[in-house]
Amino acid sequence: MAALRSLIAGALAPTLLVLLSSPGQLFAQSTQETLYDVIRLSTQASVEVDNDLMVVTLAVQEEDKDAAVLATKVNETMTWALEILDSYESIAVRSRNYQTFPKYDSTKTRQLVGWRASQSIELETDNFAAAGKAIQTLQERLQVKNINLSVKPATRENAADVLIENALNAFKDRAALVQRNFNSGGFRILELDISSNRSAPISRNARVMTLESSSSLSVESAPAIAAGSSTVQVQIQGRIQLD
């Protein structure tokens, strides 16, 4: 946490927007009370956080003239994959939909000549090394469709909490600066709004790997995965009134 605070302190980039009220520009509360010397301030802070969550989608695709035989092939491959993944306690596994499509010949009559089926599984983990080994094995019979990297919700929340503390301090510092500049005896906060991008599932900086087929990766070695980073940002907007 100390390292994170130090990194955030260097990334803090406060901004200041000042709007002074004038006889023609007055702010009013719900009680219709006229407020003078009201100033709007804005600060923001951001930090790059290492991605620590991986979601991998793999799929089995088979073809056969007999739909029942086809289903058996897919089920056998999925059972094989799930048995392998049972040994990886750090990987959560979710089975996805089974899909079947008819296959026609290229003649004008388009005769049905068989069936094509697919089913996918989704792996989620924060253990990138284990995921690499699992993918290496599963590629013997499954195709890697995509690998998404992002920041876990808890990690994003912790980073946002530190940013909020720093942004609030920056907001108060800016308010004190305005107070001194206008030779005011003090100030009070009328309104404060705090927002962040902590709910974003995947940052623009998260590395996304998309593969058309398993042939693009060697089964002999685990795929190289660059974790990358995601941006966590907090913005504070508010109004103060000078005494």
Instruction: Provide the b/e sequence for 104-138 (b: ≥16 CB within 10 Å).
Output: eeeeeeeeeeebebbbbbbbebeebebbbebbbbb
In this predicted structure, the answer to whether residue 218 has a pLDDT above a threshold of 80 is no
Block residue for tokens 């006229």: 34
Q: How confident is the model at residue 221 (pLDDT cuts 50, 70, 90)?
A: low
Query: What is the torsional sign of CA 172, 176, 181, 182?
Result: positive
Q: For 77-109, write each residue's pLDDT tens digit.
A: 999 999 999 999 999 999 998 999 999 988 878
Domain ranges of the chain: 2-50+153-200+233-242, 53-150
The dihedral formed by the CA atoms of 69, 75, 78 and 80, expressed in degrees to the nearest 10: -80
Residues 22 and 173: their CA atoms lie apart, in Å, by 24
Q: Which residue has the higher pLDDT, 64 or 13?
A: 64
pLDDT value of residue 191: 93
Residue 112: partners with Cβ closer than 8 Å, 6 or more residues away = 102, 103, 104
Residue 12: pLDDT over 60:
no
Average pLDDT of the chain to the nearest whole number = 81
**Cα pseudo-dihedral 131, 136, 142, 147, rounded to 10:** 40
Residue 210's pLDDT band, with cuts at 50, 70 and 90, is: very low
Q: Which amino acid does the sequence have at 15?
A: T
pLDDT average, residue stretch 119-137: 95
What average pLDDT does range 19-46 have in this prediction? 67
Burial degree of 40 (CB within 10 A; 0-12, 13-18, 19+): middle
- Residue for token pair 């940052």: 203
Whole-number Å distance between alpha carbons of 214 and 51: 24
Structure confidence at residue 114 (pLDDT): 93
Q: How many separate helices (H) and strands (E) can be counted in the chain?
A: 4, 10
Percent of the chain at pLDDT exceeding 70: 75
Q: List pLDDT tens digits, range 142-180.
A: 999 999 999 999 999 999 999 999 999 999 999 999 999
Q: Which CATH architecture describes the domain 53-150?
A: 2-Layer Sandwich (3.30)
pLDDT of 203 reads 33
State the pLDDT at residue 2. Answer: 55
What per-residue confidence (pLDDT) applies to 227? 81
In the chain, % of residues over pLDDT 90: 64
